[in-house]
Structure formats: structure tokens, C-alpha cells
Amino acid sequence: MLDTADGRPPPELGAEGPLVGRTELLARAGDRLRRGRAVLLSGPVGIGRTALLEALADRADRDGALVLRCAPARAESRLPFLALIDLYDQLDESGLAAVDALPAAQRAALDAALTGGPPAVSRRQGELALRLAVLSLLRALARPGRPVVLAIDDLQWLDRPSAELLAFAARRVRRLPVGVVATVRTPLTGGDVALHLRALPQPAEELPVEPLEFGRLAELLGRRLAAGVPGWALREIHRTSGGNPHFALELARAVAGGRAVPRPGEPLPMPAHLRAEARRLLGPLSPGARETLLLASLGVGLGPASPTVDSLRAAGRPRAVVEVAEAVRLRVVEPPAEDGVVRFTHPLLPAALRAEASQDQRLAALTALTAGAARPSPAIQPARGRDAVGGGGGPFAALAEMERRVVGLVTEGGTNREIAARLCVSVKTVEATLTRVYRKLGVRSRVDVVRLAAGAPA
Ligand SMILES: Nc1ncnc2c1ncn2[C@@H]1O[C@H](COP(=O)(O)OP(=O)(O)OP(=O)(O)O)[C@@H](O)[C@H]1O
Ligand SMILES: [Mg+2]
């Protein structure tokens, strides 16, 4: 937590409370704004762009700038001049006096744009007069010592006529103390913002909003959620959210608000909203590619156990090469690296694949993956596998709690080292536990354990 007692500045306030982290980004963006420059905060849904923009705008306001904000919405992006209207509404008395002082033609063009009325002159002349009116206003309002800062949240939804005005002004305010801080939403799997950047006064700088590291995310969740989240779940939330504050808040609320808190190694409950986010990207996958990726998703985050294209083929997916290539085209999976590991473009995607699959599908995939065996069998019975392990039924009745947990993680494809890390015990403990499990179950390997969990004879 930031501590004012040690001489550091107090945390900046976002829209919903103090910001965690982001110190460097705030300093860099703030510095540019103070010098009348433009910054573009880019990043995917929920990464924290609005929180940063608000903090920067508030800071500029405190520093004496005239801050004019607008936050275009997707649903309203077809309404002409909406952003101009929002900005105009924030003018104070001196701003309105500047409007009154505009030449008559510019004043009339501005009125027409703000009220939706017809221009008094030809369309072309009206457009020019309006552009000049906006420029005149910026010239009148921006003074050394009292710069103007335009704060535009979600630039991608700016209505077209306002966007054209902004671009016109952007090319002409170079020498004026007019700072712009804008945000733009990029696809979850990355995207290009060059077009948006060019619409701002030059030289504009893109500042990508990066995921939060573990400590910061834990701090954010600690501040925002009344109920605590168990330590292991925090790690899991950080992993699945990819450090995205919004995803993390949703996942943590689902964990804290759920009837049964998941146990170590169990998948996190995935809120419908996040599934929908992932579905947008996963939707276009062919059924075959989706099934292959489900297999890949079960090994995600398990280090050396992470599936490669070869291991997917060995696990009964003969078309894995083509299917993975399809997923690369759809930006679900990263282009192949040298180690051949199949890496998802965002950790939410494998989590959603796992959450969307039925238990039967998951078990079949796990069996195939762990054994490197034939195609997943549709004959696996429901209510077996991990739940059977967790519930203590069937062949697992004789196992102690710790032994069941280890078995549960074995069925997820975890190595001894990974299981040890998840359960916060030593590797030796895992090995000793597994030896006991083999003896009690009368089996010789982890593959046998997975088969038993899946309801097949070991
Ligand atoms: N650095 C941070 N410190 C504290 N809370 C944060 C931080 N970043 C984001 N949040 C919180 O996470 C949530 C998502 O952040 P925010 O709305 O700023 O994201 P966004 O990128 O603007 O998302 P959207 O794509 O929906 O516009 C909000 O509840 C916000 O308060
Ligand atoms: Mg936002």
C-alpha cells in the first residue's frame, strides 16, 4: 500500500477509489499533459484505462488546467456531435464569454451543431465555420498557466462529426497549451491503434496499459472486496485474469460470493460475463479445433506439462497441426514458438474452454492427454473422475483428504513439482503421498490413477 509517511505522494484517486500501482504510467502521462502534449492509453476491456484517465484528469484539474471530459458510448456513437455537446456543457463563464465573442458565422455554425438545427449557410461553409469556431475557442481558452486538457474516454466510440472536428483541431493546436488524454479499447488479444493515434495532436504517444502484477492485484482485491479471498485463489485469479483488474474483480466476487469456495486445484467459478467475453473469441473456432484446444487448455499453467502440437497429436488429435494453425489465425493461440508449446493469447481463453466443457468432455480430454492415448472416449460415465475423487466414492474411498487432493491435481495433468507448489508442500511430500495412493489403489502409475478417476479400469 502506498504510504504517505515515507514521503511518497498519496495514491491517485480513480473513479472508484485509490489507484493501486501505475505510478510510472501516471508520471509519464502527467508530464506530457503538463507540456500540452497528447497521450493515448490503450488496452483491452477492463484493464484500467478509465481509472487512469480519471486520475490524470483530476490531477490536471487540481493543477489548474481547464479540463473538459467526454466519455462516448458505443450505443450513442451514431449521434452527431454528441461529444461536442458534452464538452460544451462543461464551459464555465469565461468559456461562454469566448463563445459569445465568436464571429457571427462561427457562432451560428456552432449553434447549429449543438442544437441539431440546419446550418444558415451552405453545408461546406457551415462545416468550415464550425471547425474554425472550435479552433477559435481553444485559442481563447488555452493560456500559459491555464492549459486546456481534453479527456476523452473510449475514443473508438467518438461520434464521427466530433472526431472530424478533433482531427481538424489536432492538426492546428501545436503551439497551444492543449493537452489531450484519450483512451482506446483494443481487442483482448492485441491490436493496432495507429489510426487513433494519428487523430490526436502530434506528436502523440501511445501508453499501453499493462496487466497488474500479482502484488498490486492482490492489493486491489483486498481494498475492493469485503470478503477475503484465500491465498491460493488469489494466485489462480491473477493467472486466469492475466492481471486484468476487471476480470480479477469479477472472478474474486464469484469466489467470495459462491456457495462453495473452490478447493486448491479446482477450477475457479467463471462468471457469465467473462465467459461471454471469451466466447466472442472462441466462437469462430471449428468444432475440431475447439476440442483440440480443450485438450491444450487442460495443460495450461502446468509448466513442463503444457501441451505441444506433438503431444496433442499423440493424445488422439491427428489434425492438431491444422487446428492449431486455425486458432493462430483467429488469434486464440500465439504463433508457434520453437518449443512447440501451444500458448493461448489470453489466459481467460483456456479457463473459459475448461469452464464451458462438460465434466465428461474434460475427463475424456484429460485421460487422452495424460495417457497420450487414443481419442477421447465418449463412453465415460458422468459423476466420475474428480468429483468421484472429491466425494470420496468408488475406488477412492480409502484415501485421506491430502491424498485425494493430490489425486485431483494428478488428474489435471500436474507434475509433482507443480502439485507441491499448489498445495504449499514439498515435492517429497507429494512423492510420498503418491506412493501411498498407488498402494491403496493397487496401481503403479499416475496414468492408472487418471484412468481410475475417469471411470476406466486401471
Ligand atoms: N490501478 C487500479 N487501481 C484500483 N482499481 C483499478 C485500477 N485499475 C482498474 N481498477 C478497477 O478495475 C475496474 C476496471 O477498470 P476500468 O473501468 O478503469 O477499466 P477500463 O479499461 O476502462 O475498462 P472498459 O473497457 O470497460 O472501459 C474498475 O472497477 C476500476 O476501478
Ligand atoms: Mg473504461
pLDDT tens for the chain, 458 residues: list them. Answer: 333 444 544 555 555 567 999 999 999 999 999 988 999 999 999 999 999 999 999 999 999 999 999 999 999 989 999 999 999 999 988 899 999 999 999 999 999 899 887 766 677 777 899 999 999 999 999 988 889 999 999 999 999 999 999 999 998 988 889 999 999 999 888 788 998 999 898 989 999 999 999 999 999 998 888 777 777 788 889 988 999 999 999 999 888 776 666 666 567 788 888 888 899 899 999 999 999 999 888 865 444 456 888 888 888 888 888 999 999 999 999 987 777 889 999 989 998 888 888 777 777 777 777 765 333 333 323 333 444 454 445 677 788 877 887 887 787 777 788 777 777 677 888 899 999 988 988 888 887 777 777 666 55
Specify the pTM.
Answer: 0.76
Look at the alpha carbons of 421, 426, 429, 434 in this order and tell me if their dihedral is positive or negative. Answer: positive
Q: Which ligand does the CA of 47 lie closest to?
A: 1
Distance CA 35, CA 268 (A): 46
Distance CA 189, CA 333 (A): 9
Which residue's CA lies nearest to atom 10 of ligand 1?
Answer: 48
Contact 106, 129 (CB under 8 A): yes
Look at the alpha carbons of 55, 59, 62, 68 in this order and tell me if their dihedral is positive or negative. Answer: negative
Q: Is the CB of 19 under 6 A from ligand 1?
A: yes
Contact 150, 68 (CB under 8 A): yes
Q: Is the CB of 449 under 6 A from ligand 1?
A: no
Strands 178-185 vs 38-43: parallel, antiparallel or unpaired: parallel
Q: Is the CB of 56 under 6 A from ligand 1?
A: no
Tell how far the Cα of 91 is from the centroid of ligand 1, in angstroms.
27
Look at the alpha carbons of 186, 187, 190, 193 in this order and tell me if their dihedral is positive or negative. Answer: negative
So what's the pLDDT on residue 385?
40
Distance CA 63, CA 97 (A): 23
Q: Which ligand does the CA of 152 lie closest to?
A: 2
Distance CA 411, CA 395 (A): 14
Tell how far the Cα of 292 is from the centroid of ligand 2, in angstroms.
34
So what's the pLDDT on residue 127?
87
So what's the pLDDT on residue 315?
83
So what's the pLDDT on residue 383?
32
H/E stretch holding 99: helix 93-100
Tell how far the Cα of 243 is from the centroid of ligand 1, in angstroms.
11
Which residue's CA lies nearest to atom 13 of ligand 1?
Answer: 246
